[in-house]
Amino acid sequence: MGQPVASKGRGATPTVGKAMLNKYARAFFTRVLTPFAAFLIRRGVSPDTVTLLGTAGVVAGALVFYPRGEFFWGTVVITLFVFSDLVDGNMARQLGRSSRWGAFLDSTLDRVADGAIFGGLALWYAGSGDDNVLCAVAIFCLASGQVVSYTKARGEAIGLPVAVNGLVERAERLVISLVAAGFAGLHKFGVPGIQYLLPIALWIVAVGSLVTLVQRVVTVRREAAEADEAAQESQGTEAAK
């Protein structure tokens, strides 16, 4: 985990668990999970290990169950493992550690989890789901989600604030997709018509992600122009002295 730093620590980026739980539920589960987090610390388990295992569980749930059309049980497994997002942050706080490495690992593995979820859905529609259009939509959701995250990271890397709240960011993408997938899985238990929730959700996520991408690109273009103009004015002022 490294030494404590003043930068944003583990859990600063919205994660699957944080997306699925509102602030009141998070506070409740934080209290519930604190003894478990303390137990893991006593056993010598690191927050990084919990992060890795949680991501592995999400990936397994998505790639084992979703391609077979087992949306309900796949979502159940994913939901169980998303609590690792709360546990690892709780452990880091108890240990007094807030590291750049922890934040980097969380963000990187978030992308892996996202890819597995939408990849699993794409595999279903490419196979037994037999719907090439929805397969393409799921792939678009996967790709656009990665690009949306990249635009913010890249903008911040070149010194821009990227001050925009997109229409459908990571939290919304995951909540919409996972809730719809879980309910769609109830079709196998005899609930009629509910399977159509998932295609609707994928289209919503796809369109929302496209809008969000455009919002971020426009924002970065504006902020970059303002920053360049300010730099030119500063250079002109210095030259006039």
- Per-residue pLDDT at 79 exceeds 80: yes
Average pLDDT over residues 159-180: 91
Active site annotation includes 131: no
Binding site for a CDP-1,2-diacyl-sn-glycerol, by residue number, is 48-51, 89, 93, 99
- Per-residue pLDDT at 6 exceeds 50: no
Q: Which of 110, 114, 130, 131 is catalytic?
A: 110
Average pLDDT over residues 128-147: 97
Q: Summarize pLDDT for 207-239 with one digit per residue, the tens.
A: 999 999 999 999 999 999 999 998 888 877 776
How far apart are alpha carbons 219 and 163 in whole angstroms? 7
Sign of CA dihedral 167, 62, 8, 156: negative
Binding site, by residue number, is 48-51, 85, 88-89, 93, 99, 106, 110
Binding site for Mg(2+), by residue number, is 85, 88, 106, 110
- For residue 166, give every residue at least 6 positions away whose Cβ sits within 8 Å of its Cβ, in sequence order, or none: 148, 211, 212, 213, 215, 216
Q: Six-digit token pair at 89?
A: 């942050």
Q: Summarize pLDDT for 15-73 with one digit per residue, the tens.
A: 455 445 455 666 777 788 889 999 999 999 999 999 999 999 999 999 999 999 999 99
Q: What is the pLDDT of residue 10?
A: 58
**Alpha-helical regions (H) of the chain:** 16-20, 23-42, 47-60, 71-82, 84-95, 100-126, 132-157, 170-184, 197-240
How far apart are alpha carbons 12 and 7 in whole angstroms? 10
Average pLDDT over residues 144-160: 94
- Per-residue pLDDT at 159 exceeds 90: yes
Q: What is the pLDDT of residue 210?
A: 96
Average pLDDT over residues 178-190: 96
Q: Summarize pLDDT for 85-137 with one digit per residue, the tens.
A: 788 888 988 888 777 888 899 889 999 999 999 999 999 999 999 999 999 99
Task: Give the angle 239-221-219 at the CA atoms, nearest 5°.
Answer: 125
